[in-house]
Structure 1
Amino acid sequence: FPAELCDFIASAIAAVAPSGKGGSHTPACMDKSLVHPVVSVPFIFEARDRYHCTEAWEGHRLVMVAFTVPECEKLDKDDAAFVVDLGFHINGKAADVDPAIPFRPELWQQRNSGQCQLGGKRRWTPSARGARLGETARRFAPAMHTLVKSFVLRVIPDAERSAMELVLGRYTSSPFSEKDMSQLRQQWVSLLGDSQGFDLLEVPERQPFFLPALARTAELLEDPDWEIVTQGNDNFCTGVPLGCEEVLPQVPQVFDFKYKSRTLDESEYDWDRSNYQSARDFEAPLHEKFREEERLGRMFPTTLGALKEQFGSERIRIASLGAIGKPDGGARPIHDATHGVQVNNAIKIESQQAVPGPADLSYVVEEPIRRGEVPFCVSADVTAAHRLSKVREQDWPYLACRADDSSPTIWVNTVGTFGVSSASFWWSRLFGIIGRVVTRCLLQILFFHLVFVDDLRANFSGRNRYVHTLMWLALFEMIGTPFSYKKFKGGFRVQFIGYELDYKSRTMGISASREKYVIEWIQNARRQKFVVLTRDFAEFLGRLGFVARTLHWLKPHLGPLYAWSAATAKGTAATLPLTVILTLEYISKILQRENFHISVRRVQLQSEPSFHTDAKCADGFVVIGGWDSLGKSPKEARWFSLKIYPTDAPYLFDAKQKSQWASASAELLGTLAALHCFGHLKPLSAPRRLFVNVVAATDNRGNEALRKKLSTTKWPLMLVNMQLSDLIMQAGLTLSLRWKPRDENALADSLTNEVFSSFSENLRVPLSFSDLPLRMLSDLWETKCQFEAARAKARAEPVSLRKRRRKEKTPW
């Protein structure tokens, strides 16, 4: 660039000709100078009142230290992206702190989802990341970014090819050599400054992570939880408490308070337990597994006498082991820290861990596409995640077990153990720090990553997405994260903790295996005439609840299932009640007709009601009515009024043909009729797009609460609610009902009284009861009648009490 042009766009620039003998240009406003040595890594310097340059070098080179562009919108798109990628802020404004933009999950389908998995209580959009960092962190983060980017570009000749091979699972080990990674770590610690007495490249015993360097990096980046890594008596370097002897208090800067904990099984105290049958079946693989853990420093063998001599007898707990076989012939041990030993029962954790939910996943799918980008997705697996946090030595005897009941050898865990409730908390806290450090070092690039235990998922957008993918990987590896490279995956359709994300169709849902499980369970229950084990039903209900986090239209119908499950004793067999059977039949019909995916598009929030409805219940008939009120006067609005008789809707009338008791059901049926009459229920030909919110007004406060709660067990309201939920699901709607006093709903009330003077007869929507889309409601009502008839017939038939022979008696 000519020096005159650089004068205009830059506050400092140095240009050297290809011969290496060129001069430098210094703006007149800067009369001071400071010469730096030529370095191969980024370095930090104060540029407020000095012009900085480096010593002479060979070749052609351009160094841009700082620049300002008053009309940055005139920059070419590629040039602007290039400058931003270098770490410069071209849209900066004079302000103390840039405004931070929080993520708003209420704009997506699932509300009240968990907080960010990487430990932070607040989540920011990419452009707002680091907006509140201090000056030191603002200088340090770009230096780390440049360091890692230079490393990737130097050691990976073709970033796109390497990134593709990574997600195809073609790597069996890291794409970065140990020599290259060692050099990167040396350059990393050179940026950290004061080591505070630590050997920054030390890897503590029984750890894969470079914890002192991680702590110093997190401190410079102002991480809210960096001190737990190296500071205090109990930290990740020396070992963290198990939680048996003291409460693990809330970490308010990272976690919300945990108000409720799961009630654990009560059992008789037994400090020395025998193993379960599953562990006995895998004794040889368990021995081999424990020997491998011993080599890694995570377990050690001992005897009961030696354990008592070292720790005393009060803390010793020898837990039962279970085991799960692996395809390769190995076994995964499961440490039962609850029954008998009561270790988990004594642990109290006050920090609420968060789990990635549908709102988080919807956002990371939708946001890149909304910006016109094609994201590159990566799924990774952290090896032995729960085992990567050290436990302090005094708590080791709480983690004892045996591989063989007949052997005197006792194996003691020294790290987090699968089956101990605090293991996931400590891993979440440690990996949260690592994840936030990686995020800070990647600056404001358009990327997102989520983690659940050992499952890590990320996507990257922009023209440098492949380089950024490898930078992300290099940062995790630089810190010491062990990956299982054979488990790397990616593509436009990826799975994450049971969810399936589809970037092409902009949808998310549940995986095929979970789809199959739900449908087959209901089919098996039907074959068994809905006689089920209550324990199996509770397991099914828990998984159905997981499905309902994504398919939120399913939630209204789980209330009866939860109520029955809570009222029955575990370990018994029982016939499902009629309400539960009808609900399962409804779910089965829908899930076989529709797919298990929903759109991730944002919900279009509507403030004003689209229509007003009312219902009148009398002896022998019901009248429903409504008018299309949005932006119209009554004379300009479409309207309907429909009289319903017992022959039309027998579920709204009792034996004496009275309907007053079913007013809530009639009101909700009126809402359904209004949605139909005013064109809101047109089914979508494409996959469901749940992005329109219809607001309606009603003078029934109970129905307003129903649409918020999304569940009821009352007859026949449950049937109408099921039908309504089915229709708005097909039409891609969400529905909000707002209560209005009867005086403010007088026009709709007049329609139910068949007083039409306020409306134009020409705008009346012709409507008969048979026009309403009530097929599912009719089928469910018919099913109810059939069950009641069968039950009455069974009760009327005599019961044969054949005398049992002695050998047929139930054993005691």
Structure 2
Amino acid sequence: MPSDSSTELEKFCKDHGVHEVLYQALALKGLESVDDFAYAFPEIRSLEALLSGLSDSDLSDMGSTDQFHGVQAARIRKALRLAHDLCQQPIEPPQQIGQPPSLPAAILPQASPASWVENLPPKLSQEAAQELIDDFKTNYPGELLDEDTMPSIRPLSLVQHSLKPGEKIRWIPWQFRLSSTQYTEIMEAESSKPMRTEAQLLASALYDDTPEMPVAHLQQEKFDPPQVLLLDTSGPLGVRCQALADPEAAHKRVKVHDTEQGLLLFAFNGTLWKYVVCHFGAKFSAYWWQRVGGLITRILHASLAHYPHRAWLYVDDLLAALLRSSAHESLLIVVLILSSLGAPISWKKASVGDSLIWCGWKVNFAYETVELCAAKRLKLSSQIQGLLSKQKVPRKDLEACIGLLMWATNISLVLRPYLAPLYRLLNSPPGANYSIAPRMWPLFLHCLDSRAVFVREAMGLSIPLNSRVIEWGNRQVHCKSDLPLMAKPTGHTWIRISDPSCPVIKMTRAAQTSLAWLTPRIAAIPTTPLSLPPILSSLARADAMAEGDQVGIGGWVSTKHGLAWFAEAYTMEEIRTFWPFLTKDAQKYIACFETLAQLALAMTAKAHHGHTRLSLCLPTESDNTPTEGGVNKLFTTAWPLSEFLSLIASWSSANGVTIQVSHVAGAHNEWADDLSRGRLQAFAHRSRDRFRVSLEMLASASAKASWSSKDPAEVSPIPETPRLEA
């Protein structure tokens, strides 16, 4: 709406019931239009200063006694809200003949060397965004939608604005295509940065802030490297064959939009060149190839709908399991579809047969087995030996070894818990001492967020970004509030900083012990069946109690053959005989005792079921979330829970029992809760069905774990499990 009329604000205030006294207060500030009113008070709460300046005579003239919560205060707040809405309405552009339409201001930010201003369409309300999310989940129930994949409110608003009548769907630049997590992190981290020049913004776009899926959230809890997918097979062995295809230069199959080719520049012989496709070195190439690769895979699934098949794609390596009777037709369709889509196949890597190597796995569909190929075993052993030969190792070498170990242990979960010391080493960087002058202390505090992490740079402080304060003097620092607001008046204040970007890491004794223990076992990882073990038809629940110096575990398992239960009580003194590192109050280790209860439950079920070497899956239930997640993955970086997960992993491997834990609310776990607290009245008539579990049985659960490598005479027992210390 026009904003050049001097009487516009006065008329607006009268139309919306704003008292003359309040209008005069606005006029005294030089405000003349609705736009002035809206931008002078960007938030409703910014009116508090205006209202607090009203005198008693002003309140008397308005007939009000409360300047903040009276009728007049409510009316001016309502008028301000309406002014904000009016200023955000799109203005009809003048008709221009003979000129192509330009991108709206919502897409092209107006930049100057001293500022960065964006005119964006109104943001969607929370209700509208939630409605879009619900519609998406209804239409695409198989898609994962979390904070890392959910678009932020900005692209949602831009897209909906483009879909309004009279608008056109336009290209949305990369800086607006952020996930909800990325948008939140940028708003929190960069809100206090000084204004940048256009040259700095370009350099940042080229080198620093190129949009990508961040690596920080790609940890074991949220992301797995290429895994062996266990199959629920129902046909006889040998009815399937497999095919392997690898699109050549897959990333270069993705074309870059004209507006983003400036992000892919390089100079050669004095000439500036640009890429028109996503080359391998660009940060966002993998991000976009995932979308293209996923589309190609879905097209293949749809094209092979009449032929029973399975297909997996990891980056650009496609693995397909086909029925032998229709393999020729299925292969022909795959080749034709890939050719018609313009995806050139790397024929030197293509392969068809019963057994082939895919992403380091030797998969055999004739026998439904998988094993780690010899080349990967040698590479992993070489990496481990390289880490063991040095006291200080490059961070990249440690990260590469951990990634390969996590991938290799997919078919041998008994080894997974022993990776915890390596993860703790990687996530506990060494500290360095810094001294802060008294006059620099306020600036030092300003550079910290609430977690005592450096999020801002400042002149005079050479502390790396993202490093964290861990000590002040001789005191531990857990958050910013642990630091004093004022430094000591004389002398420098010493602090200790932990820098996660430190390129060199010093090996700890726990990490070296774990790697030395893993070395011979990696070479002996056995061939593993692809088929899932059968699920035992049963209902099993367990619980644990920890109060003061007393610990109790209890649980029960019921099958069609009968019921078995256990209930044991221990003291912390007895527990420390086997686990001396549990030095604190029992309640601090409740997740560890819940894990012990799950192990005791599995022992009870095995004794009750009476099978010998039959592999099966035991479904159990627990009301403890860390135990549920830890047992299902057989991995955690939390210590000492990782120590107890190693017991379950080793016992499961030795007895052929896979534990699958689901959650049960504590209110529905009454029987197990009573057993853990020594209340045995409900099971008093079933004393002969009680299974006794001693601490010695639980502590020696890993002593029987063993497996054979390719040489039947070579056996790798696991009696001397390493102590995983903090």
Q: Does structure 2 conserve the Cα–Cα contact (< 8 Å) formed by 1:626 and 1:641?
A: no
- Does 1:576 pair with 2:507? yes
Matched residue, 2:246: 381
Indicate the RMSD between aligned Cα atoms, in angstroms.
Answer: 5.5
Give 5+ residue unaligned stretches, structure 1: 1-99, 107-111, 116-231, 235-240, 251-256, 267-312, 318-339, 789-812
Matched residue, 2:600: 673
Q: 1:446 aligns with which of 308, 314, 336?
A: 308
Matched residue, 1:206: none
Whole-angstrom distance in 1 between the partners of 2:248 and 2:426: 37
Q: Does structure 2 conserve the Cα–Cα contact (< 8 Å) formed by 1:668 and 1:720?
A: yes
Q: Does structure 2 conserve the Cα–Cα contact (< 8 Å) formed by 1:578 and 1:784?
A: no
Whole-angstrom distance in 1 between the partners of 2:255 and 2:653: 48
Matched residue, 2:88: none
Matched residue, 2:619: 694
Whole-angstrom distance in 2 between the partners of 1:579 and 1:775: 21
Are residues 638 and 632 of structure 1, via their aligned partners in 2, closer, same or farther at CA, if it must alter by over 3 Å? farther
Give 5+ residue unaligned stretches, structure 2: 1-137, 150-167, 191-197, 430-499, 705-717
Whole-angstrom distance in 2 between the partners of 1:560 and 1:263: 29
Whole-angstrom distance in 1 between the partners of 2:382 and 2:226: 28
1:553 offset after TM fit, Å?
A: 5.8
Q: Does structure 1 conserve the Cα–Cα contact (< 8 Å) formed by 2:241 and 2:365?
A: no
Q: Does structure 2 conserve the Cα–Cα contact (< 8 Å) formed by 1:532 and 1:574?
A: yes
Are residues 358 and 523 of structure 1, via their aligned partners in 2, closer, same or farther at CA, if it must alter by over 3 Å? closer
1:534 offset after TM fit, Å?
A: 2.9
What TM-score results when the alignment is normalised by the length of structure 1?
Answer: 0.46
Whole-angstrom distance in 2 between the partners of 1:607 and 1:372: 25
- Per-residue CA shift, 1:40-73, capped at 9, x if unaligned? xxxxxxxxxxxxxxxxxxxxxxxxxxxxxxxxxx
Name the aligned partner's letter for residue 379 of structure 1. L
- What is the identity percentage for the equivalent residue pairs of Structure 1 and Structure 2? 17
Q: 1:758 aligns with which of 674, 678, 684?
A: 684
Q: 1:535 aligns with which of 388, 392, 396?
A: 396
Whole-angstrom distance in 2 between the partners of 1:657 and 1:350: 40
Q: 2:658 aligns with which of 697, 709, 733?
A: 733
Whole-angstrom distance in 1 between the partners of 2:602 and 2:323: 40
Q: 1:610 aligns with which of 520, 540, 548?
A: 540
- Per-residue CA shift, 1:662-710, capped at 9, x if unaligned? 5554443343234224426999869xx6x51331557x67644644675
Are residues 632 and 658 of structure 1, via their aligned partners in 2, closer, same or farther at CA, if it must alter by over 3 Å? farther
Whole-angstrom distance in 2 between the partners of 1:714 and 1:348: 31
- Per-residue CA shift, 1:725-776, capped at 9, x if unaligned? 22224424023165545853365246x5798980455445466555556164
Are residues 410 and 715 of structure 1, via their aligned partners in 2, closer, same or farther at CA, if it must alter by over 3 Å? closer
1:418 offset after TM fit, Å?
A: 1.9
SS in 2 for 1:521: helix
SS in 1 for 2:684: coil
**Alignment map for 1:309-348 (pairs within 5 Å):** 342-343=205-206, 345=208, 347-348=210-211
Q: 1:591 aligns with which of 509, 517, 522?
A: 522
Q: 1:494 aligns with which of 318, 338, 356?
A: 356
Q: 1:505 aligns with which of 351, 367, 379?
A: 367
1:246 offset after TM fit, Å?
A: 4.2
1:640 offset after TM fit, Å?
A: 6.5
- Per-residue CA shift, 1:231-285, capped at 9, x if unaligned? x999xxxxxx9x9x544748xxxxxx67459999x9xxxxxxxxxxxxxxxxxxx
Whole-angstrom distance in 2 between the partners of 1:662 and 1:618: 11
Are residues 598 and 316 of structure 1, via their aligned partners in 2, closer, same or farther at CA, if it must alter by over 3 Å? same
Whole-angstrom distance in 2 between the partners of 1:601 and 1:527: 39
- Per-residue CA shift, 1:20-46, capped at 9, x if unaligned? xxxxxxxxxxxxxxxxxxxxxxxxxxx
Are residues 463 and 631 of structure 1, via their aligned partners in 2, closer, same or farther at CA, if it must alter by over 3 Å? closer
**Alignment map for 1:632-647 (pairs within 5 Å):** 637=564, 639=566, 641=568
Whole-angstrom distance in 2 between the partners of 1:663 and 1:703: 9
Whole-angstrom distance in 2 between the partners of 1:539 and 1:439: 33
Q: Does structure 2 conserve the Cα–Cα contact (< 8 Å) formed by 1:707 and 1:737?
A: no
Q: Does structure 1 conserve the Cα–Cα contact (< 8 Å) formed by 2:317 and 2:359?
A: yes
**Alignment map for 1:461-476 (pairs within 5 Å):** 461-476=323-338
1:566 offset after TM fit, Å?
A: 2.9
1:578 offset after TM fit, Å?
A: 5.1
SS in 2 for 1:472: helix
Q: Does structure 2 conserve the Cα–Cα contact (< 8 Å) formed by 1:373 and 1:461?
A: no
Q: 2:530 aligns with which of 600, 603, 611?
A: 600
Are residues 765 and 438 of structure 1, via their aligned partners in 2, closer, same or farther at CA, if it must alter by over 3 Å? closer
Whole-angstrom distance in 2 between the partners of 1:563 and 1:655: 18
Q: Single out whichever of 550-559 and 732-741 deviates more from structure 2.
A: 550-559
1:445 offset after TM fit, Å?
A: 1.3
Name the aligned partner's letter for residue 660 of structure 2. L
Q: 1:721 aligns with which of 645, 650, 671?
A: 645
Q: Does structure 2 conserve the Cα–Cα contact (< 8 Å) formed by 1:639 and 1:765?
A: yes
1:420 offset after TM fit, Å?
A: 1.8
SS in 2 for 1:601: coil
Whole-angstrom distance in 1 between the partners of 2:341 and 2:582: 74
Name the aligned partner's letter for residue 600 of structure 1. L
Matched residue, 1:744: 671
Q: 1:459 aligns with which of 306, 315, 321?
A: 321
SS in 2 for 1:362: coil
Whole-angstrom distance in 1 between the partners of 2:625 and 2:251: 49
1:488 offset after TM fit, Å?
A: 1.7
Are residues 314 and 552 of structure 1, via their aligned partners in 2, closer, same or farther at CA, if it must alter by over 3 Å? same
Whole-angstrom distance in 1 between the partners of 2:181 and 2:558: 44
**Alignment map for 1:210-229 (pairs within 5 Å):** none
Name the aligned partner's letter for residue 602 of structure 2. L
Whole-angstrom distance in 1 between the partners of 2:284 and 2:679: 64
**Alignment map for 1:251-290 (pairs within 5 Å):** 259-260=181-182
Whole-angstrom distance in 1 between the partners of 2:591 and 2:356: 44
Matched residue, 2:405: 544
Whole-angstrom distance in 2 between the partners of 1:745 and 1:395: 60
- Does 1:416 pair with 2:278? yes
Name the aligned partner's letter for residue 377 of structure 1. Q
Are residues 445 and 729 of structure 1, via their aligned partners in 2, closer, same or farther at CA, if it must alter by over 3 Å? same
**How many residue pairs end up in the alignment?**
469
**Alignment map for 1:300-315 (pairs within 5 Å):** none
Name the aligned partner's letter for residue 376 of structure 1. C
Name the aligned partner's letter for residue 537 of structure 1. L
Whole-angstrom distance in 1 between the partners of 2:531 and 2:329: 28
Are residues 553 and 103 of structure 1, via their aligned partners in 2, closer, same or farther at CA, if it must alter by over 3 Å? farther
- Per-residue CA shift, 1:378-400, capped at 9, x if unaligned? 21232332223444556556534
Whole-angstrom distance in 2 between the partners of 1:628 and 1:616: 22
